[in-house]
Structure 1
Amino acid sequence: MADASNPGITPPRPHTRAEDVYALIVGCTLIVLGLLLLKTAGLVTAGTAGIALLLSYTVHLPVGLLFTLVNLPFFLFAARAMSRVFALKSFLVNILISLSSFVTARAIHIAWVHPAFAAVAGGTAIGMGILALARHGAGVGGTGVLALWLYRQRGWNAGLVSMAFDVVILTVSGLLLGAAGLIWSSCSVLAIHGILFTWHRPGRYTGY
């Protein structure tokens, strides 16, 4: 049925549960593959994914597990500031990412990858994964939760808000990375936010 206020325009159809589940699986898979590429190249990236990667070089725990642990404090904020459904989906996403990282580490072995490819391909994969999750009412936690909250409450561009957080993360990580690593890591951040800036903004997407 056409929208009465906009004749000829069909209102968006809400996503089904099956579509939500599929999107969560796809999003988590893309994020895990992106993390694998960046980890292999010894890089970091945006948000809590970057924090988890940075910690993995010193703590020697799986990136997926560190990713979930870093995000735990943000779930309470998600439940209070967003919704319990969003918080639950985000929690499930982190569990899926942790489990997927465990499986991926035993299913795929990449001996070497050029940092330029890892930065662009890995960052793009993570960006598309975050976008898939966001469009179906979930997030990866951390700074992404804050960015999505500001996007919904004030209409602020999620890519630009997240970029501001990531400048701080890269500044801190730069103390432990060489110049080349910091440059390529910055490129991965740009790749992620290039995706979010292009497709995750008011008026760009009409689905729920």
Structure 2
Amino acid sequence: MADAAAKKSPVGFWSSSSDRHSPLEDMQGIAAGSMLAALGVTMLSSAHLLIGGTAGLGFLIRYSTGLSFGLVFFALNLPFYWIAYKRLGLAFTIKTFAAVAFTSVLTEFLPGLIAFDHIHPVVAALFGGLLIGTGMLALFRHRASLGGFGILALYLQDRFGWRAGFVQLGLDGVVLALSFFVASPYVILCSILAAVTLNLTLAINHRTDRYIVR
């Protein structure tokens, strides 16, 4: 009886229930996920690697034009917020916007605070992909994402039961195919390794039937 009452009780800013995160927990989860993702992006960028999704498009534009990754990444995600609002709700959209904005800001400042003087591309691919995947996993568990293909992947998982990691892996393949225009075959192979690491992290660890907290 006590457990049932606790589950039905309203969630305050500090307290959560067995099936719902508190606002404070959401804030911490979104901040942590964004920080991990930004560190992963910084690691990949230090090795001049790419990744899939809108982050991959951001890398392609940055390497081709010299524009700021953070600004490009933020702008590329803008069209996806309408889909997020219509399909996944206002709360998801607001939290995703916050995550994308925070990640964009962090990727601008981290290179001046953390320097990788030497990092092997394979190591960057494995650790960078794992960091971004873990960051996205934290965001997914707080009903948020890094926007772009992540929004579409989450929608398809909720609507059809398709694994978000596998959906995003297919979309990432398209982005990585475009990288042949700006990168060497070795860099592309390492970038594919990063994308596989990221998406396997999501596919193995993120299932709605195992983690039901909202």
TM-score by length of 1: 0.91
Give ranges in structure 2 of 5+ residues lacking alignment. Answer: 5-16
Tell me what 1:102 maps to: 108
| d(CA) in 2 for partners of 1:46, 1:100 | 19
Aligned to 2:188: 182
Distance across 2 between alignment mates of 1:106 and 1:93: 21
Deviation at 1:2, TM superposition (A): 5.7
**2:88 equivalent in structure 1:** 82
What residue is the counterpart of 1:32 in the other structure? 38
Contact 1:12–1:206 at 8 Å: present in 2 too?
A: no
Paired residue type of 2:24 = A
Q: Counterpart of 1:13 in 2: which secondary structure?
A: coil
Q: Which runs of 4+ in 1 moved over 3 A?
A: none
Is this contact kept in 1: 2:176–2:188, CA < 8 A?
Answer: yes
* Equivalent residue number for residue 126 of structure 2: 120
* Residues 64, 182 of structure 2: 8 Å contact kept: no
- Picking from 137, 146, 153, the partner of 2:143 is 137
1:149 — aligned with what? Answer: 155
SS of 1:44's equivalent in the other structure is: coil
Q: Take 2:182 and 2:106, find their aligned partners in 1: how far apart are those partners?
A: 28
Per-residue deviation at 1:196?
A: 0.5
Match of residue 161 from structure 1: 167
Give the unaligned 5+ runs of structure 1: 4-10
Q: Percentage identity across aligned positions?
A: 33
* Alignment match of 1:42 (pick from 35, 40, 48): 48
- Partner AA of 2:204 in structure 1: T
Q: Distance in 2 between matches of 1:105 and 1:187?
A: 23
- State how far apart, in whole Å, the 1-side matches of 2:184 and 2:112 are: 29
Equivalent residues, number: 201
Match of 2:63 in 1: 57
2:32/2:135 contact within 8 Å kept: yes
Cα separation, 2, equivalents of 1:16 and 1:149: 23
The equivalent residue for 1:12 is 18
Equivalents in 2 of 1:72, 1:112: separation in Å? 34
SS across alignment from 1:174: helix
For the Cα contact (< 8 Å) 2:63–2:182, is it kept in 1?
no
Once the two structures are TM-superposed, the CA of residue 79 in structure 1 deviates from its matched residue by 1.2
TM-score (norm 2): 0.89
Aligned counterpart in structure 2 of residue 172 of structure 1, from 175, 178, 184: 178
Paired letter, 1:45: I
